[in-house]
Structure 1
Amino acid sequence: MYVGIDHGTSGYRVAVLEDGEGPEVVAEVGRREVAKRGFLGSLPGDVVRALRDAECVCCNYGMGDALTAFTPIDEAEDMGGAGYGLAATGGAGVELGSGKVYVRDLHSLASENGVPVYLAPGIHRDTPSLDPCFRVFSHVGSGEKFGTARMALEVTGSDDVVVCDASSNVVSLVVKEGRVVGGIDACLGAPGVLHGPLDLEAIREVDSGEKSANEAFSTGGIVKVAGCVDPDPERAVSSFLKRCGREERRVLAKLIAWEVCGLADVFDLDVLALGGSLARDEAFLDELEDALGNRFNVLEVLPDEPAAKGLAMIARDISEGARSVLGVPVARAL
């Protein structure tokens, strides 16, 4: 049994992969609950048992920007200024304090039960597989995006894909010859429902002290103009889909099309894999297909929670002795 855990914007998802079956999400828990009760304490008993019995676990934590390989959690403990593969705390997104509790629980799982637990690195300037043009940016995406990319390769059957995760924020990746070579992080390109890049107005608000940069990012999505989005990241997308209409969907679809088509043109790709909450909304998909036109020969919608499921697949890859996954090394092969 192999387990993948996605530490995402709105909470934690746990996926289990058993031999002969596809990965399945077995638990979802919010960040506030984990901050209060601990990660393992917030999970059903059967899921905790699955974690203790797992052959390998692959998970992500924060931006993972002090890691350049899939790294055993015990080795990652002292990596980065903030530990466990974080160069620093803070950054893009609301902090609730659950992450430290989560990663310490997983460290205990590894040390007390002998379970191999690997942290997925973030995708950042020092990622070895990155195309030089993306090293202009400090960060491209957090580690769970490797899980989304792994699932995209499985679903599309292609090693050359643009992968887009569209939800409260939007992150797109470029995969060439099975290697993650670049992408556009949430604070750089197309806005999502809640988060988005800082425009001139936001920069002025930050400079004047009206907002922090993080607050500006966390309100930089279509929320700025739609006026129908809950500011809580755990409720933002569902609120948007319930309360906003065709025009708001069209605006967001065009902005996402701008991002993914640009990446596809530069890197000569014609397969798009779409994940995230917006991918499950038929009205949004209709608008996106209109905006994309005939740019992609293949558009595949990924299954629910592709990051957690893909991380479970990476756990299996590592358990089977892989020395690299998606162009990134495994620090201590099993």
Structure 2
Amino acid sequence: MAFIGMDHGTTGISFCIMDDNEEIIDIFKIGREQSKKGEVSPVEELSKRVDLDSVKLMAITYSMGDGINKISPIDKVKDRGILSIDGAGKVTGGGTSVYSELQSTNIPAILIPGLHKDSDSLDPLFRAAYSHQASPEKVSICYNAFKETGWENMIVADISSNSVDILIENSRIKGAMDACVGAMGVIHGPLDLQMIRDIDEGKCSANEAFSNAGAVKIAGIEGKVANLKDALFEKYIDGDEDAKLAVDTLIMTVAMEIAGLIAVSKNKIEGVVLTGSVGSCKNPFDFEKEINKYLKDNYPLKVISKESGAIGAAQIAFDLYNGKKEILGIPAEY
């Protein structure tokens, strides 16, 4: 038997294949542009690594996930589980082609929802405050964090192209701060007053502002989304002052967001989990060490794999197949 998890990320689509002992067989990633152009087939790549007939369940994430509030069989989900693709960051079409190809197979599959105003499992205060809190892969990231640590009360900080921090209490996701309202990521970030003015004056759309509001804005970096993090890190290594300011600012905003979630938690936080391509970074800077300068050793820190989205999705598939009825408070129809 095998189980598959898919993470629909900003720079690419990652897959984790897991056996019936919950051991990872393989993890691989398909670039969005490659998928869109038909250069790579997810089904072909999966079939190279596992007998597809042996796959008992696949858990996938897609876009905002705001059209559903339960983990649901993919064949029962309308419109790929989203209300709209507008305002969701840079759209390439690569994720859509992967979704369509996987949907056309006979692999049993479930779709993980995002966290939003219609998520009955969340704290009503978070639902009232924010129409959208996190996309579906944040749920699978949190599940991997839960499985790795066993902490029932924690903050999960996913720092990569965007930054999203999630509050978990009593083994349930209570709420989260989405990229457009809180901390900076490498690419995406919150809309400040100047951006709102630029939008009102017709200089850019809100989505364009959001997609250029991260650390790249401070570092003055432009280019293909898949290359921006490396470009930022290269400038940082070269001692570029703007790049250092960008990284330091990103870290500061993440620390503020984590501290804010700790402040509103009703339970004592057991620790903070760091993940994502930046959150798990050790070089050219140690993100764990830098964030701890703000947290001041008050909370244990745990770094997990930057592929936690795909890993957590595979773990969700495994546990639902084996009888679980909910994931971190989110009900499953499977």
Is 156-165 or 264-273 further displaced after alignment?
264-273
How do 1:50-65 and structure 2 match up within 5 A? 50-65=51-66
Q: Distance in 2 between matches of 1:66 and 1:169?
A: 21
Deviation at 1:105, TM superposition (A): 1.1
Matching residue of 2:264: 266
Matching residue of 1:165: 158
Q: Distance in 2 between matches of 1:6 and 1:288?
A: 25
Aligned residues: 320
How does the TM-score come out when normalised to structure 1?
A: 0.91
Return closer, same or farther for 1:157/1:221 CA change in 2, 3 Å cut-off: same
Q: Distance in 1 between matches of 2:114 and 2:158?
A: 15
Matching residue of 2:311: 309
* SS of the residue 2:81 aligns to: coil
Deviations 1:84-139 (CA, angstroms, capped at 9, x unpaired): 11111221211111232222112111xxx2x2200000111111211112112111
Does 1:174 pair with 2:175? no
Deviation at 1:25, TM superposition (A): 4.3
Q: Distance in 1 between matches of 2:25 and 2:166?
A: 23
Question: What is the identity, as a one-letter code, of the residue corresponding to 1:326?
Answer: L
Matching residue of 1:281: 281
The answer to whether the 8 A contact 2:156-2:273 is kept is: yes
Percentage identity across aligned positions? Answer: 34
The answer to whether the 8 A contact 1:33-1:42 is kept is: no
Is 63-72 or 30-39 further displaced after alignment?
30-39
Matching residue of 1:292: 295
Q: Distance in 2 between matches of 1:315 and 1:44?
A: 16
Return closer, same or farther for 1:39/1:72 CA change in 2, 3 Å cut-off: farther
- RMSD, aligned α-carbons: 1.7
1:106 pairs, out of 96, 102, 105, with 102
Deviations 1:49-105 (CA, angstroms, capped at 9, x unpaired): 4444311000011111011111101000x2xxxx01111122121111123222211
The answer to whether the 8 A contact 1:15-1:26 is kept is: yes
Q: Distance in 2 between matches of 1:24 and 1:240?
A: 32
Q: Distance in 1 between matches of 2:202 and 2:14?
A: 36
Q: Distance in 2 between matches of 1:315 and 1:50?
A: 17
Q: Distance in 1 between matches of 2:306 and 2:75?
A: 30
The answer to whether the 8 A contact 2:43-2:101 is kept is: no
Unaligned stretches of 5+ in structure 2? none
Deviation at 1:22, TM superposition (A): 3.1
Return closer, same or farther for 1:247/1:295 CA change in 2, 3 Å cut-off: farther
Matching residue of 2:132: 139
Deviations 1:154-181 (CA, angstroms, capped at 9, x unpaired): 1212111100100111001111111111
Return closer, same or farther for 1:3/1:44 CA change in 2, 3 Å cut-off: closer
* SS of the residue 1:32 aligns to: helix
Matching residue of 1:35: 36
Matching residue of 2:72: 71
Deviation at 1:249, TM superposition (A): 2.8
Deviations 1:221-275 (CA, angstroms, capped at 9, x unpaired): 1222222x34422122222222125544322211110001110121042410000
Matching residue of 2:248: 250
Matching residue of 1:226: 219
